[in-house]
Structure 1
């Protein structure tokens, strides 16, 4: 290390320069996984992270006055045995087993998630259920023959009434665009195995004692009933990974260092520039791994890629969490509940004690996180913390979950670029940048959710890093990292560790666009024709 110091907590700081084997941008799950595995193999690494306090990215755990908050909710489940083994290796003694419970909340009642149609009709009451069934009958008798949008597909399947209650409001809150502009393909992928008519017939049979199978019209896989979780939140995993990297003597994690530029050195290597609390820092490395958003990487590469303009059009959905401390032993047992109610802006409410009792130190206090989906710079995002806490208190009262006077404290956590947006041109923009950079810079590796502009879970992000390490160690692209995350139900069903081997090796000549054919639970926009129709 040149002109640098090591803080007492193991975090590197200071200005100057470093020379390492691999420079890594971002200390999220992908970056830290890569750093940990590289140091185990004897490579020297330097990781820059713009956050001054937390590693883990969107998988971090924020602490406020002894209370811990999971940003987004992260169940530790993976079909990959390699990922499961790595979790156990990094954090061998701190996992707990937790029950899985998520429900939908609508007008004061809870509904199972995934939705059980017969239960939903029962909870809605006779009059509304009758209207729902009439709407369903109309949709079946006079279906839309020109199905293009999420709205078209869902109304055809369930009728206008059920669509408006259980699909429209929440979906538009999450993605920030009207349901009539989202692709029907996404609806068909997201909502499957539920037959409304089959649910009604099955429910009637069971009410008469003729059928006791817990089917309820569903023909889907059984979801996880329990999951493993670090006792102090997911950030515990990534704190441990950071400490192991630093403890190896082969790596450092530079907190509070913002990515400025990544310049090719003309000999196949890289010069990574970052702005830190003590001045500018330059890291020289043979390889560079980026988990930075693709559009930021393109804008900070030197020389600028020809595809920089295309990358600049990549978009992201942001969200913020308002965590409230409430004088109550418990509010609900769910890990989180989905809010299908247009009277409020909140989309989902987490119950942190249901993730782990150790995250809430006072047994007489419930701690919940209200999640608001937004775009960076919009009115919600730019509201003050005080305004957002007051909004959260009032919306809890509107929902009938708690009265404002029981709230004894709150804090706001903003998460930018939480979800890569799959709009009508994202795939072409990603493919163009990927093709150019892989051809021009074989020692530059893109990993993780934002680094690849793919809606990855943390285990998917880790696997992209694991394959990247294999490629660096081999000195060639022997694994296609873009083949990770092709299972749309990866996080919902199946057996942990059921996929015990790495993906098949691929030749560098494999079609660059092949892996982009997979879309996991993210809607595509059906403009420009819908927008043109509206304009007309």
Structure 2
């Protein structure tokens, strides 16, 4: 951000926040708490974005499984103030299902050795030593990044097939920045230390190896409902089913937004805009339109879409994990959530389980276009194939699709984002935040922090949300 956003000079038209996900609601809450007029425009009929909680016949599930953990005391304090005793502390247990065997994740030495055997373990060690002696330079792709830290053999066993199932492209096409951002600081050496040494000897745990997390008693939706209640109680507005379809501007300011269609069409004169909508969509909504090279850069950005098939299983305690990673190329499911192990109150019947079969896809492809009944049948079949339940035990199911769930870090994305940022920087009353607003695979606390910083900029402070989750400046140290 090279141009500081203009601070609020009340009274003004409202600040418009586009999107009622974690980032947008956090920004709106901070502004409303300081008596700044604010309106949140959300395209969905429910708040929370990717982190929403869906209810189905008394069962609850969230889209992807959202752990609440952070090193930012300001964000943790906000969570605790919103939910109090409803913010549970949960143990993390997750495993990898590979070759019909369960591997602890994070990896544990003796479990891994027992499952792989001495010969395979030796191959992994030799591969690791080769990578340390002759690392790949330059380190351009995810494959390069993981191989340099774990060796080629472990990359092929535990990273390649699952990662390509998730992203739908080769690990050679995924940029190294994704791995550096998501699993920063992890290597075979640090993983081995985590296997062998107690926490007090390691001087604290890596973020990737966090073994406990916070979780709302009835799912993440409790958090967003509490935030929305605060916003409206302070005089702000949260408008659902209000997609922003046009963003009018002059040379250096956004002036007016149009939301909805037909009878639900509304026009909003705005003083400032904080946007969480995908960068690609934001550029396409601008009127007059940007130059062709900016539109081309926006169209260059790609997103991975996601769907959950939630299954009711007439059996308790199917497996002890919060979730399983499925490293099995014979099935299409990538991950399986066990919602009662996140919170028992997600499942109303103690004698049943509620599982989320998670599929990664692109909108418009064969999986995305399947009928809901076909997807439920597929998920049921794969659950049985994996040996996790019998067909007779699966009694019901539902499907939720989530477009643009993950911004893709493929070749050329950085140049495209930089081009768009340089153009958008001319608008002194616009800030972009959150995962899709910045085309950055942030954790939830990072997204909320970008919203908090953007709001505080309008209150007269000076922060750069683009620094969040880059160099640790806002990750390791509290902002106060």
TM-score, normalization by structure 2: 0.87
Gaps of 5+ in 1: 1-18, 204-211, 492-497, 503-536
- Contact 1:193–1:220 (CA<8 Å) still a contact in 2? no
Q: Which residue of 1 aligns with 2:119?
A: 130
Q: Which residue of 2 aligns with 1:458?
A: 444
What whole-Å deviation, never above 9, does each CA across 1:347-394 have from its counterpart, x for those lacking one? 111110111111100001001101111111111111111111111111
Q: Which residue of 2 aligns with 1:282?
A: 267
Other structure's SS at 1:470 match: helix
Indicate how the Cα distance of structure 1 residues 284 and 265 shifts in structure 2: closer, same or farther if over 3 A, else same: farther
Q: Distance between the aligned counterparts of 1:265 and 1:197, measured in 2?
A: 53
Q: Distance between the aligned counterparts of 1:29 and 1:399, measured in 2?
A: 34
Q: Distance between the aligned counterparts of 1:184 and 1:267, measured in 2?
A: 35
Q: Which residue of 2 aligns with 1:264?
A: 249
Residue 188 of structure 2 corresponds to residue 194 of structure 1: yes
Residue 226 of structure 2 corresponds to residue 224 of structure 1: no
Q: Distance between the aligned counterparts of 1:314 and 1:325, measured in 2?
A: 36
From 24, 38, 44, give the equivalent of 2:17. 24
Q: Structure 1 residue 175: deviation in Å?
A: 1.7
Q: Which residue of 2 aligns with 1:55?
A: 47
- Counterparts of residues 329-408 of structure 1 (less than 5 Å): 329-408=316-395
Q: Distance between the aligned counterparts of 1:196 and 1:89, measured in 2?
A: 34
Q: Structure 1 residue 93: deviation in Å?
A: 4.0
Q: Structure 1 residue 20: deviation in Å?
A: 3.6
Answer with 1 or 2: which has the greater Rg.
Answer: 1
Q: Which has the higher contact order (CA 8 A, sep 6+)?
A: 2
Q: Structure 1 residue 213: deviation in Å?
A: 4.9
From 87, 92, 112, give the equivalent of 1:100. 92
What whole-Å deviation, never above 9, does each CA across 1:140-195 have from its counterpart, x for those lacking one? 57987766654466567766654433222111111211234445676678484315
- Contact 1:108–1:400 (CA<8 Å) still a contact in 2? no
- Contact 2:96–2:103 (CA<8 Å) still a contact in 1? yes
Q: Distance between the aligned counterparts of 2:22 and 2:127, measured in 1?
A: 48
Q: Which residue of 2 aligns with 1:412?
A: 399
From 115, 121, 141, give the equivalent of 2:113. 121
Deviates more, 1:145-154 or 1:116-125: 145-154
Indicate how the Cα distance of structure 1 residues 457 and 490 shifts in structure 2: closer, same or farther if over 3 A, else same: farther
What whole-Å deviation, never above 9, does each CA across 1:113-148 have from its counterpart, x for those lacking one? 1223542231134xxx42553475478579877666
From 151, 168, 175, give the equivalent of 2:167. 175
Q: Which residue of 1 aligns with 2:285?
A: 300
Q: Which residue of 1 aligns with 2:59?
A: 67
| Equivalences, count | 458
Q: Distance between the aligned counterparts of 1:288 and 1:165, measured in 2?
A: 46
Other structure's SS at 1:92 match: helix
Q: CA RMSD in A?
A: 3.0
Other structure's SS at 2:382 match: helix
Other structure's SS at 1:177 match: coil
What whole-Å deviation, never above 9, does each CA across 1:288-333 have from its counterpart, x for those lacking one? 1111100110011122223222112111111111111101111112
Other structure's SS at 1:110 match: strand
From 460, 463, 478, give the equivalent of 1:479. 463
Indicate how the Cα distance of structure 1 residues 330 and 276 shifts in structure 2: closer, same or farther if over 3 A, else same: farther
Indicate how the Cα distance of structure 1 residues 26 and 453 shifts in structure 2: closer, same or farther if over 3 A, else same: same
Deviates more, 1:186-195 or 1:159-168: 186-195
Residue 428 of structure 2 corresponds to residue 442 of structure 1: yes
Q: Distance between the aligned counterparts of 2:242 and 2:470, measured in 1?
A: 33
From 417, 422, 429, give the equivalent of 1:430. 417
Indicate how the Cα distance of structure 1 residues 153 and 24 shifts in structure 2: closer, same or farther if over 3 A, else same: closer
Deviates more, 1:392-401 or 1:263-272: 263-272
- Contact 1:132–1:161 (CA<8 Å) still a contact in 2? no
Indicate how the Cα distance of structure 1 residues 146 and 232 shifts in structure 2: closer, same or farther if over 3 A, else same: closer
Q: Structure 1 residue 238: deviation in Å?
A: 0.4
Q: Distance between the aligned counterparts of 2:323 and 2:252, measured in 1?
A: 51
Q: Structure 1 residue 51: deviation in Å?
A: 0.8
Q: Which has the higher helix share?
A: 2
Q: Distance between the aligned counterparts of 1:254 and 1:196, measured in 2?
A: 46
TM-score, normalization by structure 1: 0.78
Other structure's SS at 2:368 match: coil
Gaps of 5+ in 2: 1-11
What whole-Å deviation, never above 9, does each CA across 1:493-534 have from its counterpart, x for those lacking one? xxxxx63325xxxxxxxxxxxxxxxxxxxxxxxxxxxxxxxx
Q: Structure 1 residue 486: deviation in Å?
A: 2.0
Q: Which residue of 2 aligns with 1:494?
A: none
- Contact 1:131–1:161 (CA<8 Å) still a contact in 2? no
Other structure's SS at 2:290 match: coil
Q: Distance between the aligned counterparts of 2:123 and 2:77, measured in 1?
A: 52
From 236, 256, 263, give the equivalent of 1:251. 236
Q: Structure 1 residue 196: deviation in Å?
A: 11
- Contact 2:135–2:148 (CA<8 Å) still a contact in 1? no
Indicate how the Cα distance of structure 1 residues 273 and 34 shifts in structure 2: closer, same or farther if over 3 A, else same: same
Indicate how the Cα distance of structure 1 residues 382 and 49 shifts in structure 2: closer, same or farther if over 3 A, else same: same
Other structure's SS at 1:381 match: helix
- Contact 1:192–1:220 (CA<8 Å) still a contact in 2? no
- Contact 1:20–1:46 (CA<8 Å) still a contact in 2? no
